[in-house]
Amino acid sequence: MQPLEGITVVALEQAVAAPYATRHLADLGARVIKVERPGGDFARDYDRTVRGLSAYFVWCNRGKESVVLDLKQPGDRALLDRIVARADVFVQNLAPGAAGRLGLGADALRARDPRLITCDISGYGPDGPYRDKKAYDLLVQCEAGLLSITGGPEAPARPGISVADIAGGMYAYAGILTALYERERTGAGTALEVSLLDALAEWMGHPLYSQAYGGAPVARSGARHPSISPYGPYRCGDGAVVFLSVQNDREWVALCEQVLRRPELTRDPRFADNPLRRAHDDALTAQLEACLAGHTADGAMALLDRAGIANARLRTVPEFAGHPQLAARSRWREFGSPAGPLRGLLPPVGVAGRETPMREVPALGAHTEAVRREFSG
């Protein structure tokens, strides 16, 4: 038995944030009924890269039931009420104000069922001057200041993944699990609110404090760490690049003595502590790369491992897919989809003695008729 077996989640969801949260609930065994408008979640049409399916949709919607309802039609609207009446959790990330206009606001739903847990995911929250503003991942990243510190000195850059959506989805997931636990103790549900801006505000904690109390703006530093040195990419003698990280003075001494064979660098006043090393990062990089010029990347990484210095190689996405650690730990599983069998990675949290159910990605409306019969009243 999975941890959330017997829990029913109804999701009026689209795009990434809410679907990402509810997919994790499905992975724990919850029944997730995904209510889609006619035409479906627009994330189904973001791309066609997974054998004709959207990579975004496959990623965020495995293990759910797809039910197509036209909520402008009285019969479908009444059916949704019957489904929600038997649910444990209701999740929505519709356009600002849409749930309320449909009579699906948290207050209205919980007045009918105080045990219900509702979770509203929005871009900017339920009040304030941005409450009605449309919000998509990259735009929220801009508003949160994330792009201002991402990229190189010459220009900002978008992170390679949907950071705001993932952050919002994970806080929604954690909040729902917490609310389910609380309900077990008190018998009462609750209303949760998650905004993408608030989620990124939490993740922006270091630059916010650094700017507020350090005075100087946080500079874009490309692949180098903005406040720790040495921490980033360093070229070796074979032209390949090794990433390494020194987190404290003990590791700095080990790097100089055991890897670089330059113990005198530990006595260089420019590199006496981390703030000074960061202030002289260009000079330090020149010293490191001069020493690493006598090593291949593989040789340098072997030395770093023996010295206890954290390091990594820069992998491409295909190289990551073939990562030896994923293979050694059997992280890949097969699951079904409208395009046939696909392979995906197990979710990060494993439960001892239980295999995560890698259930199929639903075709649009695949479960509509079965759900209509089940909830026919």
Secondary element (H or E) of residue 9: strand 8-12
Catalytic annotation present for 24: no
Cα–Cα distance measured from residue 162 to residue 165, given in angstroms and rounded to the nearest whole number: 6
* 251 CB-near residues (< 8 Å, 6+ apart): 308, 309
**Tokens encoding 331:** 């992280």
Angle between helices 17-27 and 163-186 (to 10 degrees): 50
CA 107 to chain centre: 29
Q: Choosing from 225, 295, 323, 367, which is the catalytic residue?
A: 225
Q: Name the H helices within the chain.
A: 17-27, 55-61, 74-85, 98-101, 106-112, 137-143, 163-186, 196-203, 205-214, 249-254, 274-279, 281-292, 297-307, 317-321, 324-328, 368-374
CA 214 to chain centre: 29
Cα distances (Å, whole numbers) of residue 198 to 13, 94, 354:
19, 17, 34
Cα–Cα distance measured from residue 169 to residue 194, given in angstroms and rounded to the nearest whole number: 8
Nearest to 21 by CA among 120, 101, 100, 137: 120
Q: Under DSSP, is residue 4 helix (H, G, I), strand (E, B) or coil?
A: coil
The answer to whether 199 touches 171, Cβ cutoff 8 Å, is: yes
Q: DSSP labels for 256-285?
A: IIIIS--GGGGG-GGGSSHHHHHHTHHHHH
CA 361 to chain centre: 19
The answer to whether 362 touches 65, Cβ cutoff 8 Å, is: yes
Cα–Cα distance measured from residue 29 to residue 352, given in angstroms and rounded to the nearest whole number: 14
Q: What is the CA radius of gyration of the chain?
A: 25
- Ramachandran bin of 210, using left for φ above 0, alpha for ψ from -120 to 50, beta for the remaining angles: alpha
Active site (catalytic) residues: 225
